[in-house]
Structure 1
Amino acid sequence: MEEIYKYYKEQFNISESDWEIFASKLTRQEFPKKSKILNVGQTENHLSFIEQGIVRFYIPKEDSDLTFSFAFSGSFVSAYDSFLTQAPSHYVVEAITPTVLWRLTYEDLQTVYQQSEIGNLIGRKASEELFLKKSQRELSLLNESAEKRYLNLFTERPELIRQIPLKFIASYIGITPQALSRIRKRIS
């Protein structure tokens, strides 16, 4: 919880009273490697902050899953469309490494909005961060080559990318594992 407090202090200069309201609603949850945080058909009830770990978002397919996002420690994570609408998710959220989340329920977030001065700012910051990641991903798919998308991901988090299986990375950048292997040989 100390990492979240530090983040909110740096980002928002959160007051002690607002922090107490916010912190009282947080729950810590650990997920082992390869465990599902949210499955298809479940409704997302949490906005979470990743203390540690890597999370993958994917659409399960019969022949191979379609990975469309990753989230790393120090960022927010949620099946945000399901969270906002309180409707079932169309995709899976999975911990691909041992992951520790600090979680806030949908109901508790509404309480934080009402009871704290900074609650709306925190909610807006989380939603902006999630939106920007989605927007950058869409633009990348439309404007960049697979090699450029791979290099961007590698540049973004080089220390963590080694922990992500290559088949997930290939799916994320929209190519086969064999094509990714050729890209890696070409740039090394």
Structure 2
Amino acid sequence: MKAFFTKIHPVEDEILEEYLSHWSPHSTSKKTILTHPGKTETYIYYVKHGIQKSYYLNEDKEHIMFFAYSPSFSGVVESFLTQTPSKYYLETITDSEFMRLSYAKHQELIQKHRSLETLFRKITEQFLVGIIERHHQLMAFNAETRFTQFAKRSPHLFQLVPQKDIASYLRIDPTNFSKMMNSIKI
């Protein structure tokens, strides 16, 4: 975790050590719902092992918004940051191991240390850029381009995540997705 944070923004060792000392291990089995719609996200998660998905239901159909896997953060970010009820589910796809930190402790420490506040501003900026890029891909690219870009960025997920989930994430009809899996080299 320390190396992950340091790549984003350097923080004085003693401050980063203090911050990291408040993160606690948390493990869950696959298909565990960590966050439900209507519940406020009280933790931010750092993924050590495993894959999670965030989704919403519309007419009982899952619409995947993102996948999280190591090394990255997981959780329903807007619910965590604003302490408002989530609109989405956060569920483990595989057995997962995390480090997690409560909102209250996170707030206490970033208010105490300016360098931690800067670190999380930069993390939030990276998250925002990622969302904008994803939105651009969904709006500007055809299904085949979205598929091939995903295959280049996250090829390991094809072996670990159900095809229906990847198809949903890419906004590709499952039948067309299956055809692409058979015709496009990954």
For normalisation by structure 2, the TM-score amounts to 0.91
Taking the aligned partners of 1:71 and 1:64, their CA distance within structure 2 comes to 20
Comparing 159-168 with 54-63, which one deviates more in the overlay? Answer: 54-63
Q: Quick one: which of 154, 164, 168 aligns to 2:165?
A: 168
Residue 109 of structure 1 corresponds to 106
Name which of structure 1's ranges 85-94 and 16-25 shifts more when overlaid on structure 2: 16-25
Equivalent AA in structure 1 for residue 10 of structure 2: N
CA distance in 1 between counterparts of 2:89 and 2:159 reads 22
| Alpha-carbon shift at residue 138 of structure 1 (Å) | 0.7
Q: What is the CA RMSD across the aligned residues, in angstroms?
A: 1.6
- One-letter amino acid of the structure 1 residue matched with residue 24 of structure 2: T
2:33 aligned with 1:36, yes or no?
A: yes
Aligned-partner Cα distance in 1 for 2:156–2:172: 22
* Structure-2 change in CA distance of 1:31 and 1:133 (3 Å): farther
Work out which of the residue numbers 16, 21, 25 in structure 2 matches 1:19: 16
Describe how 1:128-139 pairs up with structure 2 within 5 A: 128-139=125-136
Q: Give unpaired runs (5+ residues) of structure 2.
A: none
TM-score by length of 1: 0.90
1:48 partner SS? strand
Q: Deviations over 1:120-177 (max 9, x none)?
A: 1221132123212211111111001111111111111212331010000111111221
Partner of residue 78, structure 1: 75
Return 5+ residue gaps in structure 1 as ranges: none
Contact 2:53 2:67 in 1 (8 A): yes
> How far apart in 2 are the matches of 1:13 and 1:91?
32
CA–CA distance in 1 between the matches of 2:94 and 2:87? 22
Residue pair 1:18, 1:117 contacting (<8 A) in 2 also? no
| CA distance, structure 2, for counterparts of residue 25 and residue 122 of structure 1 | 16
* Paired amino acid for 2:164: K
CA shift in 2, pair 1:132/1:72, >3 Å: farther
User: Which residue in 2 is equivalent to 1:69?
Assistant: 66
User: Contact (CA 8 Å) 1:31, 1:98: kept in 2 or not?
Assistant: yes
Contact 1:83 1:106 in 2 (8 A): yes
1:183 to 158, 167, 180: 180
Indicate the larger mover: 134-143 or 105-114: 105-114
Spell out, residue by residue over 1:71-94, the C-alpha distance to the aligned partner (whole angstroms, 9 max, x if none).
Answer: 221112221111122111111011
Cα displacement string for residues 49-92 of structure 1 (whole angstroms, at most 9, x for unaligned residues): 11111111110233421112112211122211111221111110
